[in-house]
Structure formats: structure tokens, C-alpha cells
Structure 1
């Protein structure tokens, strides 16, 4: 009975007017606190990828979108009609629409923008109803309430425009269409006597600004693309003219000019990259000057590989801001918003003074604790939070300010802007620059009880068997230079690792490991082989050994955790990984250390003449790699292979996974993907030896099958090479059909042998 009476008493007090007042006070203060967290954490998402941090940000964002409307509903439904509570409601409304650093949590939320905006409109109406029915005659409070409400309406309109611009069904589609159509004819805009120079961007008329105005025009015949220059006064600004204008500014130092030029270039490339979000054709792909832009423009003749990588980092930072924040360039409403902000600051200050003065409007629902008016102090705390956040700049990264100045071609305040750019030019400020790491032979026996996914009803994803990420490794200058220097030395050609083996005179020995059924086979086999080859050797901080191990474990990490970034279907990759984990648990039973596991795999490969599983193939490769001596040569071969192979894996048509990972700390593979896009490389080439380049071919089960696989795919290549002479085509076709019939007979014989 005592518990029942206590429960009844608590329920009555909780539903009483005093209890509702306490609930409102707690919710209002907690909403303001959540607002602070959103502003602080939103801009840090692209620098942190830890699972707990991402879950915490998601929880904060979810509470932020729920608590405010709930508190406004309590104010609307209860006896809270005094100006003090109406002021709380207007502040809650302002909080809901003024978060800039985290406008949406996921890229999928952008397409749900109409639902979000309808919620904001309903809250605006509810707060307006509170204002109309409020009681009190504090002039300062009245002015503040109305200014907050008007500010909320303006910010809601602005948020509508920002989300629409980032939506595939809105401005993103429209403006990217302008860029896509323009880039189809961009090379035609260059005068015949001007040779493209990627060092000065002369002859590269990539759009920097102005596509918004062109987007309102209708396409013209005969191809019905947007006609550039058809309307006087509407003209796009291009990156070459922007660079020339920056160089003409005498007030800038040489270092400042280069930094601002890189910011402008990153912004222009960001507009080109947005086309891939819409699925538009990349018109400049395949042109010589496009590849030359990356090989001799982003990457200078002196081999400034880090500069090329930083430009891509800034470009992806622009893309992140565009999709997930409201750090956009200043629109026509900017000066209006600035004016309103000034009025808000003055009004808030007057309100605080009024709250401390004897003219403070005391509510009939006052709550005192030890003689302190809690309601009054809640009001003061809320106004101080609004005042502080109004003074703070939305972001310390001044890239958008520089871009806005370049849009208007006005003399900017370069001193202030450049001081911020210099500080934020560090790589760790833009992105976390860390590699995810995974070692199959170390963690295949990892088992998770998945208690948290069960308790959270699936909000936290399950961890699969053997899926345990290792400690992240920071991206170093050495790895950047190793990967990009190989790309430059190969003249922009992608290879699946065989070229690296050929340079080291080892292709004949290891070519079999590059012609496996799928690229996922290649990754796992070479990862296992690399682990075996490095067993017992401490990893130094620098050198080929470090490069090879970092890239090997990173590619294995992508297989285990981000399969959609790799060639083939992501689900197929998951199933292959799960199967290999189960095979390892079955084959390596009783081996408790990595060394013992490596030795057992080596012995298994030595005892088997017909290796067919990924584990056995990896053991065979590891045993053969151990035969490469001296060790320095072995590490160089592996470093060359992985640096070449990771570039080969980078092209992808799955744009969504790259956009999604931008909000989770970013991936090194995304940076390579963007770089190759600007080089005009959108797809990986077919490999030079049979099955290695394809996905979904039958696994190689024995040397005879391997030979058949190579012969079969060689005939496939012959079938698609149509000669210019039709009679030659007929002859080749007949020879191919005969070869296919013979191969079918050989295949039946092999099946009987097995």
C-alpha cells in the first residue's frame, strides 16, 4: 500500500500545475543545453569516426528534434500565458531552426525535408498563438518575443532553401544539370590559340559561380542543353578568371595567393563533383587535358603530392558542408539576417536588464527554492545562451567567407580571413586522416554477444563474427606520396598490382595471385599473404614495411566494414568475408597466436597442390613472399603492390556510400575516388590477364581450371574485338566458336576428374 500511495502522490504532483511547471523548466533548459551540443558536435563529425561518438551525435540530434516541439506543446496546452513563458516558447522555436552545424544527420534526411519544414511551420503557428494570447505588459519582453518569432520565420525560410539546394529533387539536380551541360562543351569555350596549362588553370574554364542564374533558363535546340551566353548579363564565372584576379591583388603575399587559389579551386571542383550525386554524365572524362589537370596541375612537376591531397580534402569539406550543414555562401537574405541578429542581441541585453530590474514581469506561477525565483533565473540563463551563441561565429573555418568575397570580386579583408585559413589548413582540422585497420588472421575468432543491439531494439547495428576493427593508423605524408607518385609515374593508368610486380621482376612468380575470380579474392589473399610475410617482423614507423601493412589492413577493413566502397555488390562481399571467417575458425583451431596461424597456413599450402580456398591461396602467397629476399626488397614489392592496387579499387559508381561516410569521419578511399573523378577516370579498367578484373566468375579450384579460366576469358576478349573488315569478323567468329566447343569438352573432363 505504501508504494501504491507514493505512486499516486507522485502522479498527482506530476500532473499538477506546479509539476508541469517543473517539467517545462527542465525541458527548456535541457533543450538549450542540447542546442549547445549540436553546435559543438555537428562540425566535428567529419573529424571523428568512433562508433560511440557517432551514436552520441545521433542521440543528441534526435533529442534536439523532439524536445523542443514537446516543450512548446506543454506550453500551449497548459496555463502558461504570461510573457515569461511565451518568451521561453519563442526561444525554443528559435533553437529549433537556428542550428547551422548540423542541419540533417543523414543524407537520407535531406529528401525528407518537407516533413521537417511542416513541423517547423506548425511550431511557428503554435508559438504565434501563444504570443497572441499572452498576458503581461513588459515592453522589452514583447519586443524580444516578436523579434525572436520573426527571426525564426526567416531562418525557417532559409533552412527550406538550403535543404532544397542539397536535395536531388530540388536545387542539386537543377544546378548540377547546368554544370553537366556546360562541361560537355567546356573545351569548345577555349580559343584555338590557347593551350591548356593546368599549372595556371589557363584553358580550364571550370565553373566557379553563376550556375544558379543559368539554371532558370530553358534548354535550346538542337541538343536541348542549356544555352550559355544566350541571355545578355547572365554569365558564369570560371576558375581561370578567378585565379587571375587573385594573382592581381598586390596586398597578398605569395603564400596567401597560393592558399586562396587552392580554396577557389577546391570550391570549383566541389561543384563538378556534385554531378555524381545526381548521376549526370561527366563530360570531360576521357579528354587528355582532364587527366593532365591532375597529373601536372594538382600534382606539380616537383611532386607536391600533399598539396594535391589537401585540395581534395577542402573540396570534400565543401561537399560535407553543403550536404550536412548550413555553412553556405551568403545569399540575398544575408544582410537582412545580420540586421536581425544585431536587433536580437540588443533586445536580449535589454531583456536581461529587465529581468534584473524591478520592472521584471512576475508570473503567477512563480517557483521559489530557498527564496530564489527559479522561473526568473531560467529566463536569464536562456537569454544568456542565446546571447553567447549569437556572438560566436558559426564556424572557425573561413573557407566560405573567402568564396563569398571571390563571388563579388571585392577587396576582401584578407588579413582576418587568411589568419583563420592558415590555422585550419592543417589536415587534421578538415578530416580525421586516419585509416581503419583490420587483420583477418588476428581477429577472425572475435565473437560479440550483441547485447547492445538487442537492448536498443536494433538501433545499434549487430557486429558480425570476426568483425573487430583494430586501432586506427594516422595517414602519413609517406603513404600519400607513395600512392600518388605511382599514379603520376604510370601516366594516370590504373593497374591491379601486376605492373608493380613487373617493375620488381616478380610478375611471373606472383601473377597467379592477381588473376583470382574477384577483386575481393585478390584483397583477402594478398592481405593474408602480407600478414604471413610480415610475421615476426616489428613494424617500423616509416618505410615500405609500414606502407604495405597499413594499406593491406585498410583494404581488409573495407572488406569487413565498408564493403560498398569496393568493386562488386556489397552483400556479396559480406558473404565472402563471413565464409572466410568460418573457414579460418575451422582450419586454424588450436592456434592461439598470429605466428602459429601463419605457420599452419604455410604448411597447409605446402601440403596442398590444388589450393582452392582463400585461406589456402593466402598461405601459398605468404610462403612464396617469404622467399623474396632480402627483406627490404620484400617490403618494397608489397608497398608497391598495395599502393597500386588501392588506386585500382577506388573508381566506383556508388556515390551514396561516399557521401554517407563524409559524416562519419571520411575515408581515404573517398579522397582517391574524388581525385580520380577529376582525372576523368570513372571506372577501373579490365585486367590484362583474364578473370582478375571481373566480378562473379567461378572460383578457381585447380591449376587446370585456372588455365581454362584464362583461355575462356581470352576468347571472350577476342569475341568483343570487332575487326574493321566484316569477312575477318566471320572468320574470327568461327574460330571462336570452335574454341568454345573445345573448352566445353575440357570443362566436362575436368568436372569428371574432380
Structure 2
């Protein structure tokens, strides 16, 4: 009876007016806290790929999209008609629409933009109903309420516009079509003084495709016609304008040129999200842009990678935030003006809340003499004030530079100074996985069960190692090899030939699938390096890091590799189970390596060897490459060559998804190769390659996307 009475008393108090007031106060404050978390962690998620962090951001974002509307519903349904509660409702409405650092959680959410906009419109109508029926005559509160409500209407239009711009059915398709049509003829206008190091002759679009998107295509190709268009600004003209300006230091000029180039390349990369033909693919001019432009001169490999990093940061902002719309479409000054009005009004309201004319609600709640409702109002206004003053912080220096570049022709333009690295755009880490170390990992997947599948299950043997930071050494090793091969993609066999090992190890380059090859060479590399677990440096470091990274892609991101992602996943699962059967009783890495070498010796005459035995055979043969320094050199050259061979892909969606999860090194290579005109890997003798050669020596398009 005691439990029953307590339950009844609790239910009665919870359903009373005071109980509902407590619920509303808690939910309002919690909603404001969630807003802060969304803004803060939304801007960080492209730098971290840890599973728990990603789940936390998803949980916070989900709460953010649900909690505000629910609280507004409580206000609308209850006896909360005083100005104080209506002010709370308008604040919640503004917070729902003010999260610029994360407009959507997943790329798939973009296509649900109409549903999201309808939800916001319904909330605006509910809050308007609250405003029209509110009680109270505090002028400061009335002004704040109406300004917040009007501001929420403006923010709704802004969000609808930004989502439409990023949607394949909206602005993304229209604007990318203009760029695609333009790039089909851009190479036909090559001047005599073509120079990729100065971008002379590379008339890639920088700005203006939005204005051209409304024009109808013209026969016979039914493409957008570009005849002395006054709308189009190109990167070559932008670079000339930057060169003609006087800057306080040379570094500012370099940074502006790099950011401008990144922005122009971002416009080109968007075409792949739509599936448009890449008109410049396969052209010598396009390849020379990367080889003799981005990678021109000694030591420019890190610079080239930085340009690609900034380009992908623009793409991330375009897909997942509203920074693109705020700065690039000129709404920035309007938004700043609105926020100034809001800040002044908030300050006025805070002053009014402390004045003797403060409107006291009929539903006041006091604890030890303190008016809790009054305190909640003050806290909310201070939170909105604090977040409003940080509106420019999340814009990113890159967007401010783009705005500067667009104003170069303005006679009143005053140059700013930029020094050092602009921002940390990505996690800059390589995931690592060792099959021989972790095949016996057995996950419990308790969270998967408790969350009803919201948390993805970890598969058998799927235990990642500690991430390795992406160093300049790795970048230089991969990109320098690409330039030395004159832009030709090789599957690793040429690296073996350079070390006179092609005839001995060529069998390990002619395998049924690329997943076979990755796992066999990964196992072989692990065996060849067994017993050398000291601090990795030089070739040893490059070989092991890239080997474990490719194995990580097989285990965790199979869709980013050639072939069907599900097939890649099933091959990995099968090899894990084979390893458990074959390496039972081997508890150390060394014992497992020796067991595989023994198994390989016993199966030398077996033409249907499994991946494990083939990996053991390769490891045994690699051990025969002496001295050790030569062995590490062979493996480093192989993996640096092979990872670029794996990079081309038509699965654009997986690259776009990974932008919101810390980014992948493979995505950066994929983007770089796209701008070199390499969309697929060349055909190989084993029949698992592509159909587009890496570097044709002519100036006519040979393939599309």
C-alpha cells in the first residue's frame, strides 16, 4: 500500500500545474544546454572518428531535434500564457534554427529537407499562437518576443535554402550542371602560354554558376551556352588579381591563392556527387595541373595535400553546415545585423528582468525565497546572448578569405594579413588494423542489443588498433611516387620490378580481387616485420602504417575499396574464421607468423591455397629479401604505389559520409586523382583493374565518371 500511495502521490504532483511547471523549466534549460553541445561538437566531428564520440554526437543531435518541439508543445498545451513562458517558446524556436555548425547529421538527411522545413513551420505557427494569446505588458519582453519570432522565420528560410542548395534534387544538381557543361568546353580554349604552376590557361570556375543555372540549355548539345559570360569568375583571373594586389607579407598572398584554388576545385568535385560527366578527365592538361601545378617543385607535396584538405573542408561545410550559405551568398551581413538587433534586445530584456517593472508570472515558483521562473528566464537570455556573440567564430577563416577574394575588385577593399596554417580541418590520422593480432577478438555487442540495433554491431575480429597520425613523410612518399611515375597508376608490380623482384613476387600481384591482394600483402608484411616492433622510422614506418591502413579499410570501410563493399566484407569475415581455425593455440604474433610460414611450406604445390597460406608464402619470400633495409624499402615502395592504385572510385557517397567522421586519407587521394583526370584504375593483366588509363598523352576527353 505504501508503494501504491507513493506512486499515486507522485503521479498527482507530476500532473499538477506546479509539476508541469517544473517539467517545463527543466526541459527549457536542458534544451538550451543541448543547443550549446550541438554547436560545439558539431564543429568538432570532422576531426574525430572515435565510435563513442560519433554516437554521442548522434545522440545529442537527435535530442536536439526532438526536445525543443516537445517543450514548445508542452507550453502550447498547458496554462502557460504569461509573457515569460512565451519568451521561453520563442527562444526555443530560435535555438532550433540557429545551429549552423551541423544542419544535418547524415548526408541522407539532406533529401528529407521538406519534412524538416514543414516541422519548423508548424513550430513557428504554434509559437505565434502563444504570442497572440499571451498575457503581460512588459515592453522589453514584447519586443524580444517579436524579434525572436521574426528572426526564426528568417532562419527557417535560410535553412530551407541551404538544404536545397546541398540537395541532389535542388541547387546541387542545377549548379553542378553548369560547371559540368562548362568543363566540357574549357579545355578547347587553351592559350599558348598554358602554365599550371601559375594557373594561366586553367579557367576553372570560381564563382558565377548560380546565376547561369537559370538559363535553359541550347541545341544541339543542349548545354548551357557560355559566350563572354559576365557572371563567370575563373581561378586564373583570380590568381592574376591576387598577384596584382599589395599585401603586407608574401604568406598572405600564398594563402589566398591556395584557398581560392581549393574553393574552385570544390566546385569541380561537386559534380561527382551528381554523377555528371567529368569533361576534363583523361586530358594531358588536366594531369599536368596536378603534376606540374599542385606538385610542382621540390617540397610541394605537403602544400598540394593542404589544398585538397581545404577543398574537402569546403565540401563538408556545404553538405553538413550552413556556413556556405551564410558567407558565400552574401547573407553574412544580414545575419550579423539581425544578431546585433537580437543582442541589443536581449540586453534590454535582461535589464527589464532586473527592473521593478519585471512582469511576474501567475505561475511563479520559489525555492528558499528565490524566484526560479525569473532565474530560468535570466539564464536563457544570457545563453542566447553568449551564443549570439560567437556567431562569427564558426565561420572559418577559409570562408572569410573567399569573401575577401570576391571583393578584390571593390575599390574600397582593404587586404587582411594571414599567417601560418589556417585551421585544423581533419583528424589527420590513419586507422590501423592487424589481422594476425586481432582475428581472435570476440565482441560482446551489449550496446547493440540494449539500443535495439541503434549502435552497429562489431563483427568478429573487428578490433581497430591505435590510430597513427598522418605525417608529412607519408604524404611525400605517396605523392612523390605518383609524380615520378608521371601520373601513371601502378598496382605495385612496377615497384617490385624496380627492385628486381618482379619475377619472384609477381604471383602476389595477380589475384582474383583487390581484397585478396590487400590481405595477402598485409599478412606478408606482418610476417616480414615480425620481431621488429621497435619504434618505426623511415621505410619501416611507411610500409607498416600503409599496410595496416589498407587492412583497416577492408575491415571497417570496405565500400571505399574496389569491388562490391559487401563482397569485401564477406571475404574479411571468412579469413577471420579461417585464421581462428588454423592458428589455434598460437598466442603471440611471432608464433602465428611461424605457423603461417609452416602452413605455406606444406601447401606450396596446392593451387587452391587460402589467403592465409598465400600470405604465409609471401611473408616467407619477403624474409629472404636481405638486408633488412632493402626489405623495408621494397615494402614501402609497394604500399605507397598500391594505395594510390586503390583510390579511384565511383562510390562518391561513402567519401561524403566519411567527411563527417574525421575524414579518410583515401578520400584525399581520391579527390587529388579526380583533379588529375583519373577516375578509374587502369586495366591490369589479372583483369581486376579499371578501364581508364592513368595518364593519356593527348588532349581529347577519353572517359566520363
Structure 1 residues 328-337 or 85-94, which shifts more?
328-337
1:372 aligned residue:
370
Aligned-partner Cα distance in 2 for 1:450–1:538? 31
Task: State the shift of 1:396 in Å.
Answer: 6.0
Unpaired stretches in structure 2, ≥5 consecutive residues: 692-705
Aligned-partner Cα distance in 2 for 1:574–1:624? 28
User: Can you list the C-alpha shifts for 1:620-678, whole angstroms capped at 9, x where unaligned?
Assistant: 00000000000000000000000000000000000000000000000000000000000
Contact kept in structure 1, 2:29 and 2:380, CA below 8 Å: yes
Query: Would you say 1:624 and 2:605 are equivalent positions?
Result: no
Aligned-partner Cα distance in 1 for 2:183–2:124? 43
SS in 2 for 1:481: helix
SS in 2 for 1:219: coil
User: Can you list the C-alpha shifts for 1:547-581, whole angstroms capped at 9, x where unaligned?
Assistant: 00000000000000000000100010111001101
Task: State the shift of 1:337 in Å.
Answer: 2.4
Aligned-partner Cα distance in 1 for 2:331–2:470? 41
Contact kept in structure 1, 2:287 and 2:676, CA below 8 Å: yes
User: Can you list the C-alpha shifts for 1:677-714, whole angstroms capped at 9, x where unaligned?
Assistant: 00000000111x3345389xxxxxxxxxxxxxxxxxxx
Equivalent position to 1:389, from 387, 390, 411: 387
2:287 aligned residue:
291
Aligned-partner Cα distance in 1 for 2:414–2:88? 38
Contact kept in structure 2, 1:100 and 1:394, CA below 8 Å: no
Q: 1:441 to 1:528 in 2, by over 3 A?
A: same
Query: Would you say 1:254 and 2:219 are equivalent positions?
Result: no
Aligned-partner Cα distance in 2 for 1:646–1:468? 22
Query: Would you say 1:603 and 2:598 are equivalent positions?
Result: yes
2:663 aligned residue:
666
Contact kept in structure 2, 1:487 and 1:494, CA below 8 Å: yes
Q: TM-score, normalised by structure 2?
A: 0.95
SS in 1 for 2:630: helix
Unpaired stretches in structure 1, ≥5 consecutive residues: 696-754
Aligned-partner Cα distance in 2 for 1:375–1:218? 58
Aligned-partner Cα distance in 2 for 1:286–1:693? 16
1:353 aligned residue:
351
SS in 2 for 1:629: coil
Query: Would you say 1:363 and 2:358 are equivalent positions?
Result: no
Aligned-partner Cα distance in 1 for 2:614–2:129? 72
2:653 aligned residue:
656
SS in 2 for 1:112: helix
Equivalent position to 2:443, from 445, 448, 456: 448
SS in 1 for 2:416: helix
2:526 aligned residue:
531
SS in 2 for 1:75: helix
1:61 aligned residue:
61
Query: Would you say 1:276 and 2:275 are equivalent positions?
Result: no
Query: Would you say 1:645 and 2:646 are equivalent positions?
Result: no
**5 Å matches for 1:200-349?**
200-229=198-227, 234-328=230-324, 329-349=327-347
1:39 aligned residue:
39
SS in 2 for 1:635: helix
Contact kept in structure 1, 2:256 and 2:405, CA below 8 Å: no
Aligned-partner Cα distance in 1 for 2:335–2:543? 52
SS in 2 for 1:395: helix
Aligned-partner Cα distance in 1 for 2:231–2:156? 30
Aligned-partner Cα distance in 2 for 1:499–1:12? 79
Contact kept in structure 2, 1:303 and 1:485, CA below 8 Å: no
SS in 1 for 2:394: coil
Q: 1:293 to 1:553 in 2, by over 3 A?
A: same
Aligned-partner Cα distance in 1 for 2:198–2:530? 48
Contact kept in structure 2, 1:90 and 1:148, CA below 8 Å: yes
Aligned-partner Cα distance in 2 for 1:513–1:303? 33
Aligned-partner Cα distance in 2 for 1:547–1:128? 61
**5 Å matches for 1:563-602?**
563-602=558-597
**Structure with bigger gyration radius:** 1
1:747 aligned residue:
none
Aligned-partner Cα distance in 1 for 2:169–2:321? 18
2:406 aligned residue:
407
| Displacement over 4 Å in runs of 4+ | none
Task: State the shift of 1:394 in Å.
Answer: 3.9
SS in 2 for 1:208: strand
SS in 1 for 2:206: strand
**5 Å matches for 1:93-108?**
93-108=93-108
Ranked by relative contact order (alpha carbons within 8 Å, sequence separation 6 or more), the top structure is 2
2:694 aligned residue:
none
Task: State the shift of 1:247 in Å.
Answer: 1.1
**5 Å matches for 1:444-523?**
444-523=439-518
Contact kept in structure 2, 1:101 and 1:394, CA below 8 Å: no
User: Can you list the C-alpha shifts for 1:480-511, whole angstroms capped at 9, x where unaligned?
Assistant: 01000110000000010000000111000000
Aligned-partner Cα distance in 2 for 1:340–1:517? 61
Structure 1 residues 399-408 or 366-375, which shifts more?
399-408
User: Can you list the C-alpha shifts for 1:206-231, whole angstroms capped at 9, x where unaligned?
Assistant: 0000000000100111111001137x
Aligned-partner Cα distance in 2 for 1:323–1:412? 30
SS in 2 for 1:58: helix
Aligned-partner Cα distance in 1 for 2:167–2:415? 33
Aligned-partner Cα distance in 1 for 2:615–2:688? 16
1:175 aligned residue:
175
Contact kept in structure 1, 2:648 and 2:679, CA below 8 Å: yes
**5 Å matches for 1:3-42?**
3-42=3-42
Task: State the shift of 1:539 in Å.
Answer: 4.2
SS in 2 for 1:487: helix
Q: 1:539 to 1:286 in 2, by over 3 A?
A: farther
1:117 aligned residue:
117
Question: Could you say what the CA RMSD is over the residues aligned between the two structures, in angstroms?
Answer: 1.3
SS in 2 for 1:424: coil
Task: State the shift of 1:301 in Å.
Answer: 2.1
Task: State the shift of 1:414 in Å.
Answer: 3.8
Query: Would you say 1:145 and 2:145 are equivalent positions?
Result: yes
Contact kept in structure 2, 1:519 and 1:694, CA below 8 Å: no
Q: 1:691 to 1:251 in 2, by over 3 A?
A: closer
Equivalent position to 2:674, from 660, 673, 677: 677
